[in-house]
């Protein structure tokens, strides 16, 4: 990591575990950024800040629930009051799903859309006026390979992640002249609790670790590569193991990908 993040205010959502926690640790050790940590659980966020070795003047714990999208303007105001500005927003928080589309309650589809898409959009829209006031900024959003193509057992999740691409690609084009950079990150399998926290068709937690996730990229390695992609101001970056090939197949050989995906062992 060079000095892109130094002296900046970086806001990481989903900072209480997994990729978000790894991002906070990497930023804490390798930059002088001030970090705002958000997710729903204040105690977990404080524990992450402590483990990352952040001094009190370098971090701010700001709990938020993405489902509570109407509160985002107030949450953002609190963040700006604390450090005066937001240079980089990393929209990382998210929730996955494991169920066949026909066995998935419509409330689960809606919840995934509310958390992964609407909440993320609401937070971003509340942050943007401050970035524009300050002459620019950088919005990163963690999508998924499922934001690029769909797969069995992921219909609600893939839909919400695809929606992010439509929104953030449009936003990038609209705000280019305002010096707002938009980076979409598409992780492959990363070793986190994402599958344990995933919703099943009736809205309950899956509660188990997927085999593919357990063999995925370690979260700290992923976080280093993700921050490098942000630093390079990439429009979009897919990061993971051989599963990342799916993004190229989708682009150049979509029929082949469709055949592979329908046979995929996905959990």
66 lines the binding site for ligand NAD (CB under 6 A): yes
Q: Quick one: 132 or 228, whose CB is closer to ligand NAD?
A: 228
Q: Quick one: 57 or 242, whose CB is closer to ligand NAD?
A: 242
Binders in 24-53 for ligand NAD, by CB under 6 A: 39-40
Task: Draw the binding track, 90-129, toward ligand NAD (x: CB under 6 A; -: no contact).
Answer: --xxxxx------------------x--------------
Q: Which residues contact 164 (CB under 8 A, 6 or more apart)?
A: 116, 117, 120, 141, 143, 147, 184
Based on the residue annotation, tell me whether 176 is a catalytic residue of this protein.
Answer: no
Which region among 13-21, 78-86, 164-172, 259-267 touches ligand NAD (by CB under 6 A)?
Answer: 13-21
- Using CB under 6 A, pick the residue from 31, 97, 144, 183 that binds ligand NAD: 144
150 lines the binding site for ligand NAD (CB under 6 A): no
Q: Quick one: 117 or 130, whose CB is closer to ligand NAD?
A: 117
189 lines the binding site for ligand NAD (CB under 6 A): yes
As annotated, the active-site residues are 157
Contact positions vs ligand NAD (CB under 6 A): 14, 16-20, 39-40, 64-67, 92-96, 115, 142, 144, 187, 189-190, 192-194, 197, 213, 216
């Amino acid at each position: 990591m060079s000095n892109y993040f130094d002296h900046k205010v970086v806001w990481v959502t989903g900072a209480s575990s997994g990729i978000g926690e790894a991002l906070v640790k990497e930023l804490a050790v390798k930059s002088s950024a001030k970090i705002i940590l958000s997710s729903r659980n204040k105690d977990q966020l404080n524990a992450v800040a402590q483990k990352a070795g952040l001094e009190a003047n370098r971090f701010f714990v700001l709990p938020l629930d993405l489902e509570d999208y109407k509160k985002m303007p107030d949450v953002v105001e609190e963040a700006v009051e604390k450090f005066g500005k937001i240079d980089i927003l990393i929209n990382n928080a998210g929730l996955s799903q494991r169920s066949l589309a026909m066995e998935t309650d419509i409330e689960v589809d809606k919840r995934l859309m509310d958390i992964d898409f609407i909440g993320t959009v609401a937070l971003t829209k509340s942050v943007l006026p401050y970035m524009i006031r300050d002459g620019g900024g950088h919005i990163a959003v963690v999508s998924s390979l499922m934001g690029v193509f769909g797969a069995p057992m992921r219909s609600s999740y893939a839909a919400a992640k695809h929606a992010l691409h439509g929104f953030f690609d449009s936003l990038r084009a609209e705000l280019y002249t305002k010096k707002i950079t938009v980076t979409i990150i598409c992780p492959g399998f990363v070793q986190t609790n994402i599958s344990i926290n995933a919703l099943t068709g009736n809205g309950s937690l899956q509660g188990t670790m997927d085999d593919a996730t357990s063999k995925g990229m370690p979260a700290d390695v992923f976080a280093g590569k993700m921050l490098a992609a942000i630093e390079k101001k990439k429009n979009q970056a897919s990061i993971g193991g051989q599963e990342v090939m799916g993004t190229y197949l989708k682009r150049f050989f979509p029929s082949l990908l469709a055949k592979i995906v329908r046979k995929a062992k996905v959990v």
